[in-house]
Every structure is written in C-alpha cells, then in structure tokens.
Amino acid sequence: MFVTATQIAAYLYCPRKLFLEYVLGFKTPESEVMLLGKLTHSTHELMNEGEEKLIKSLQRIESYSGLLTEYRKIQAKILEEILPQHRSKLRDFDLDLPAAFERIWPRVVWEAEERSMNVFQFHTKHQLLGSELWQALTPKIQAEVRVQSESLQLRGVVDQVKKFPDALIPIELKTGKAPAEGVWEGHRLQVGVYLALLRSQNKNVKEGFVKYLDASALRPVIWTPFLDQEVFKIRDKVIQLRSSQELPEFVDNKNKCKSCAFQEQCYDAKFMDERVNELKKG
C-alpha cells in the first residue's frame, strides 16, 4: 500500500475526514478555492514548456525588465487559453473570465519574476543565447515531478523541482494563508515526504521549500533524520486508518469542521453509524 504526501497532510489536519474520503468513499465537491488552486497549478506547470520555447528563441537580452515582460506574456497567454476551458465551472461560483484572471494573476507573477531573474543573471555571467542558453541554464525548474518508493511505501507529485548540477530542491506550491513564520505542519511533512523519496533515489537533497503564493513567501524545510521519522510515523498511522473499520474521533479544533464539506454528514451520528455498519458488512 502506498501512502501519498497529500494523505500525510490530510491525516494531520483531520484523521476523521481522511477516513470519510478514503475508507467510506465520500467525494469532496469542488469549491471555488479548489478550482482556482487547480488553475493556478496548471499555469505554473505549463510555464515550463513556455519558458523553454522563449529561451531558445532569444536572440538578445537587453534588460531584466524586458525579459520579465516576455515571461508575463507567456503567463497571460496560458491563462487566456485555459480559463475558457473551465468557463462553466467558473460560472458556478459567479466568476467570469476577467474575474478569474484577476484572482489567479497575483499568484503567478512571482514565478515570472523568479524565472526571468534567473535567466537574466545566467546570461549576464555566461553571455549565452538561444539553444545554448537553454542547454546550459541552471537551475532549471521541472513541474509535476512524480516520485515513489515501494520500500518506503510513499509516493507523491512534487509541484516543482529545482535542478542544479549537483543537487535537487523540491518546492510545494500553496495558495491560502501563510503562517506568521515557518510553514504549516501538514505542509512541512508533505515536503518531508518528497525529501525522503528523492533521497531514497540517491539524490543530493538537503532541503525543500513551501511557496505560499498568496503571501509571496518562500519558507524552507530542512531535512533531518527526525523529519524522516515523523513522516514514517504518520505513514504508518495512515496505513492503519485505511485498513480500519473504526470511525476516528472528532478533532479537538472545531474550527476545522466549519470549513469542511462533510460537516453535516459527519455530525449526523445515525447516518455515520449506518455508513460504518455498511462498511463492516462488506
């Protein structure tokens, strides 16, 4: 049985909700936050292909601001192409295309700034252009990197991996509120899963990051043996939960329940007893 990085974070947030989803089969309805988050991630993912085409086409680089403008054009084009594909879903949340664009745009412009500065500084140092610049460029950013390990019983999809000649850095992209400092515990262990998986492949990985897009904040997660131990401890609890027929207790922090899509069913004792009894009957 594989445990995903998402399940690790979900268990920390609420084991009961994880049980409802992965054992009882409850389906979380797509919310506005989920839809905009998915579109934000799609924009970041498609940026990789756009960046390669842009860099290979460059015949000159006169300024950072000029290069930044080209990156922003790529992002705008990506959004102009993907948003109409989700028009009907956006309409469900009273969002037209311009409104959706305005909501997502601040989350992705930071990416343009980071990538264009990386390219500008590398070009300034090495004076390369076009295909030569693309081949030599470091770090390169790869999106949606799938990693898994049978021995660790873990798998995950890393939002971004910065690839240096001698090291990798996994990055988790998150929308929503960022903590005053550090990272949320679930996010820390998600990155911990990626660090453990990449290290199991003999990669040189010493740290990862959580990038809080709405706050424009980049927060480090440092690998230690103790982080591995925390990940494996929660992994074992998730495996036990997914094999169990016993409904976990409510979480102590009831504020989590207020925003849960399953709140009504979860607090209906009779309904939950019926669902658990159906599970036990097979």
Question: pLDDT (tens digit, 9 = 90+) per residue, 58-77?
Answer: 999 999 999 999 999 999 99
Encode 228-244: b = buried (16+ Cβ within 10 Å), e = exposed: bebbbebbebbeebeee
Label residue 48 by pLDDT band (50, 70, 90): confident
Is pTM beyond 0.85? Reply is yes
Assigned token pair, 98: 């311009």
List the beta strands (DSSP E) in 74-216.
140-149, 154-164, 167-174, 207-212
How far apart, in whole angstroms, are the C-alpha atoms of residue 66 and residue 197? 39
- Mean local confidence (pLDDT), 139-145: 92
**CA–CA gap between residue 17 and residue 251 (Å, rounded):** 9
Exposed/middle/buried for residue 263 (C-beta within 10 Å: 0-12, 13-18, 19+)? middle
pLDDT band with cut points at 50, 70 and 90 for residue 282: confident
54, 71 in Cβ contact below 8 A?
Answer: yes
Q: Where are the beta strands (DSSP E) in the chain?
A: 3-4, 140-149, 154-164, 167-174, 207-212, 217-222
pLDDT tens digits along 222-261: 999 999 999 999 999 999 999 999 999 999 998 899 889 9
- Residue 49: the pLDDT is 87
Cα separation, 18 vs 278, in Å, equals 18
Average pLDDT over residues 97-102: 96
Burial of 195 (0-12, 13-18, 19+ CB in 10 A): buried
Burial of 102 per CB tally in 10 Å (0-12, 13-18, 19+): exposed
